[in-house]
């Protein structure tokens, strides 16, 4: 038997075995059970409701308490306002955008604290956030209620300290 004839017989057997596997799929509409043992059944994507970031109007009154990060932020922003008369009610939430300036991400906490201290020495409100599922610590300046004010802060930081940054939306719950 010549090698050409052997190759043709092997090719014919290969095509015949492929047709035995795949032709039933076209006629039955589903694959054989043994072929499905390697596939995974992935559930459909969950439906999430639209959630806006809750913030409260920045007015502080006698009958309210403010939850804030620093005293500087207490003057400009309060996250939740609690009515002291009715303790069984949920806090009143108001949605409002706020802006921060992201100035860098660091692996070493000392480097992040040094930049935060440098910002605070120059009069900028600064805070740190750990980035989830990473080892990085991000340094932010702000937050500001108005985007224009945050953009002005970004330009001032760049001119005064020479640190580049990006404008990001402030998330008090992160």
- pLDDT of 54 reads 52
- pLDDT of 43 reads 67
CB 53 within 8 A of CB 92: no
Question: Which tokens sit at 4?
Answer: 């050409």
- pLDDT of 113 reads 95
Spans of all domains in the chain: 52-96, 97-174
Could you tell me the sign of the dihedral formed by the alpha carbons of 56, 59, 63, 64, in that order?
positive
Q: Which residue has the tokens 């300046």?
A: 141
pLDDT along the chain (174 residues), means of 10: 90 92 71 57 69 52 42 44 47 70 94 94 93 92 91 94 93 79
Establish how many alpha carbons lie within 13 A of residue 10's alpha carbon, considering only the half-sphere containing its beta carbon.
7
Question: Looking at domain 97-174, does it have CATH number 3.30.70.1070?
Answer: yes
The answer, as to whether pTM is greater than 0.85, is: no
- pLDDT of 172 reads 81
């Amino acid at each position: 038997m010549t090698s050409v004839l052997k190759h043709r017989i092997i090719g014919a057997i290969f095509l015949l075995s492929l047709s035995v596997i795949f032709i039933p799929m076209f006629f039955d509409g589903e694959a054989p059970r043994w072929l499905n043992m390697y596939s995974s059944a992935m559930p459909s994507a969950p439906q999430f409701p639209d959630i806006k970031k809750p913030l409260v109007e920045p007015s502080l009154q006698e009958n309210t308490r403010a939850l804030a990060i620093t005293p500087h932020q207490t003057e400009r922003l309060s996250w939740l306002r609690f009515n002291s008369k009715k303790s069984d009610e949920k806090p009143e939430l108001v949605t409002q955008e706020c802006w921060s300036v992201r100035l860098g991400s660091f692996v070493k906490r000392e480097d992040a604290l040094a930049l935060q201290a440098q910002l605070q020495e120059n009069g900028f409100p600064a805070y740190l956030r750990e980035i989830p599922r990473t080892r990085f610590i991000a340094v932010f300046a702000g937050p500001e209620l108005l985007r224009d004010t945050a953009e002005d802060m970004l330009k001032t930081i760049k001119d005064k300290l020479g640190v580049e940054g990006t404008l990001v939306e402030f998330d008090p719950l992160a």
